[in-house]
Amino acid sequence: MYSRDTSAKLFQEAQTLFPGGVHSPVRAFKSVDGPPLFIKKGDGPFIWDEDGNKYIDFCCSWGPLILGHNNDNVRNAIKRTVERGTSFGAPSRLGNYIGKLILDNHAYIDKIRFVSSGTEAVMSAIRLARGFTGKSKVVKFEGCYHGHVDSLLVKAGSGLATFGVSTSAGIPQSFIEDTLICPLDDLETLEKILESHNDEIACVIIEPIPANNGLLIQTSEYLKDLRDLCTKFGVLLIFDEVISGFRVGFQGAAGFYDIQPDLITFGKIIGGGMPVGAYGGRKDIMACVAPEGNVYQAGTLSANPISLCAGIAALEELLKDGFYKVLDEKSKSFVESLENHIQNLELNMHIQRIGSIFWFAFAKETIRRSDQIPEESSEIFRKMYSYLLNNGVYLGPSSYEVGFVSAAQTTETLAKAGEIIKKAITHSHS
Ligand SMILES: *Cc1c(COP(=O)(O)O)cnc(C)c1O
């Protein structure tokens, strides 16, 4: 058993300081047992907690750390840059450099604007879509998360697919009325919504690889038809690629499926582990952003040199020949070995994977919609999770969270983690 005494003490203190003891809700370990781990350091595929325990990490700070922890190039870039100050609120050469680096290698966006988080990127892209189209309603999908943007903290109400209810207190009813909810993997309902409201709808926003409510991988036909429907009804399509961007390839899901959205939002990987977000898209749409156009959007620390240099260092690694191929192969054989174990035991579960993102689905069938996730998933995951933490494997602490294989994982660390996860799977089904 790994001791968690120090983490427990720190968490007790944190609860007197911060709401729920944390600065982002899922960190509180509400859906698994025990106090959250207080993390002291990370290096490569490993993290260490305040009790001195070492874990193989598949949370990777929720996705940004595709290179693993404490990557040499990222760390050195930050060190070099910080010698010259941290922020100027003025244009910089680094800005041009990362702008070119991205636009030269991403065929699906013409221009890009940097912000400081994924939420901010989504919020800005929605405003831009509204400003460009002069319409106000937004279609979002049940099971997709887009950060804590007011109008998007909405899920489908009972019965009617298009009648939304907020998932947070503090959201005015008037905001909810502008959000239409549609199930994933269901073109018919989407077409109905677009048909009946197209003169009011500014945009459809989707995680093309939904990875915040399980990993609800959509079919490529569905995504292509979704694109066509948006075009047909004159509605902008926003790909929220805060997770999938630079994850399943440098061009994210847009490149993976070869689908041209009108706007794309970025976060996580684009900042190399620093707080960064961005949104980009078609030239004529991006031309509406101030000061070129009249859609206001600003940020004191936007594109600060520290965040940008970390992003640059990370993105340059991703652009190296074969980066994604190697990562994909590693992830594939890791997941296949787990799948073999599951099949040998004939368990009622499987692993859904795309590139280096994976998710334990506690059902035999492929899951593409949030309402297909079996209720007992949380209980099985909770058992599995306790075993994992006690044996040195760290994942996001909820059955709804996906796992990430970082490039810092080696054949050895993946084999070791694989053995532990197999035992955890057996344990959770006994
Ligand atoms: C993480 C995430 C966000 C929010 O990004 P933050 O940096 O946490 O604000 C938005 N959309 C998607 C798809 C995400 O995964």
Find tokens 């292509």 and name the residue: 224
Residue that terminates a domain, selected from 318, 348, 363? 318
By annotation, the residues acting in catalysis are 145, 240, 268
Residue nearest to atom 14 of ligand 1 (CA): 242
Please tell me the predicted confidence (pLDDT) of residue 198: 84
Hey, how many other C-beta atoms are within 10 angstroms of the C-beta on 48? 17
Please tell me the predicted confidence (pLDDT) of residue 287: 98
- Atom of ligand 1 minimally distant from the CA of 244: 13
One domain, residues 42 and 110? no
Q: Which residues contact 416 (CB under 8 A, 6 or more apart)?
A: 56
**Phi, psi (rounded to 5 degrees) for 5:** -60, -45
Domain with residue 237: its CATH number is 3.40.640.10
Task: Count how many domains the chain has.
Answer: 2
One domain, residues 125 and 206? yes
One domain, residues 249 and 360? no
One domain, residues 288 and 328? no
Please tell me the predicted confidence (pLDDT) of residue 160: 45
State in Å: Cα 63 to ligand 1 middle. Answer: 10
CA 138, 142, 145, 150: dihedral to nearest 10 degrees? 50
Please tell me the predicted confidence (pLDDT) of residue 430: 84
One domain, residues 244 and 359? no
Percent of the chain predicted with pLDDT > 70? 98
One domain, residues 62 and 90? no
Strands (E) in 35-153, as ranges, are 39-43, 46-49, 54-57, 111-115, 137-142
Q: Is 396 in the pocket of ligand 1 (CB under 6 A)?
A: no
pLDDT digits (tens, 9 = 90+) for 304-338: 999 999 999 999 999 999 999 999 999 999 999 99
The Cβ-side half-sphere exposure at 59, using a 13 Å CA radius, reads: 23
- Atom of ligand 1 minimally distant from the CA of 122: 10
Q: Which amino acid is at 20?
A: G
Please tell me the predicted confidence (pLDDT) of residue 161: 45
CA triple 222-225-229, angle to 5 deg: 135
One domain, residues 144 and 51? no
Q: Is 242 in the pocket of ligand 1 (CB under 6 A)?
A: yes
List the domain range (segments joined by +) for residue 19. Answer: 5-70+322-428
One domain, residues 235 and 111? yes
One domain, residues 56 and 148? no
Q: Is 147 in the pocket of ligand 1 (CB under 6 A)?
A: yes
Say whether the peptide bond before residue 183 is cis (omega within 30 degrees of 0).
Answer: no
Residue that terminates a domain, selected from 318, 344, 379? 318
pLDDT digits (tens, 9 = 90+) for 160-208: 445 678 889 999 989 899 999 999 999 999 999 999 998 999 999 999 9
Q: How far is CA 145 from the centre of its chain?
A: 8
One domain, residues 260 and 366? no
Q: Which amino acid is at 418?
A: G
One domain, residues 66 and 175? no
Percent of the chain predicted with pLDDT > 90? 95
* Dist. CA 147–CA 247, nearest whole Å: 18
* Dist. CA 266–CA 112, nearest whole Å: 10
- Atom of ligand 1 minimally distant from the CA of 267: 7
* Dist. CA 397–CA 66, nearest whole Å: 19
State in Å: Cα 423 to ligand 1 middle. Answer: 32
One domain, residues 302 and 406? no
Q: Which amino acid is at 164?
A: G
State in Å: Cα 242 to ligand 1 middle. Answer: 5
Domain with residue 360: its CATH number is 3.90.1150.10
Residue that terminates a domain, selected from 318, 335, 362? 318
What pLDDT tens digit does each residue of the chain (430 aa) get? 799 999 999 999 999 999 999 999 999 999 999 999 999 999 999 999 999 999 999 999 999 999 999 999 999 999 999 999 999 999 999 999 999 999 999 999 999 999 999 999 999 999 999 999 999 999 999 999 999 999 999 887 655 445 678 889 999 989 899 999 999 999 999 999 999 998 999 999 999 999 999 999 999 999 999 999 999 999 999 999 999 999 999 999 999 999 999 999 999 999 999 999 999 999 999 999 999 999 999 999 999 999 999 999 999 999 999 999 999 999 999 999 999 999 999 999 999 999 999 999 999 999 999 999 999 999 999 999 999 999 999 999 999 999 999 999 999 999 999 999 999 999 999 8
Please tell me the predicted confidence (pLDDT) of residue 158: 57
Q: Which amino acid is at 182?
A: C
State in Å: Cα 246 to ligand 1 middle. Answer: 14
C-alpha separations of 377 from 59, 352, 361, 371 in Å: 19, 14, 8, 12
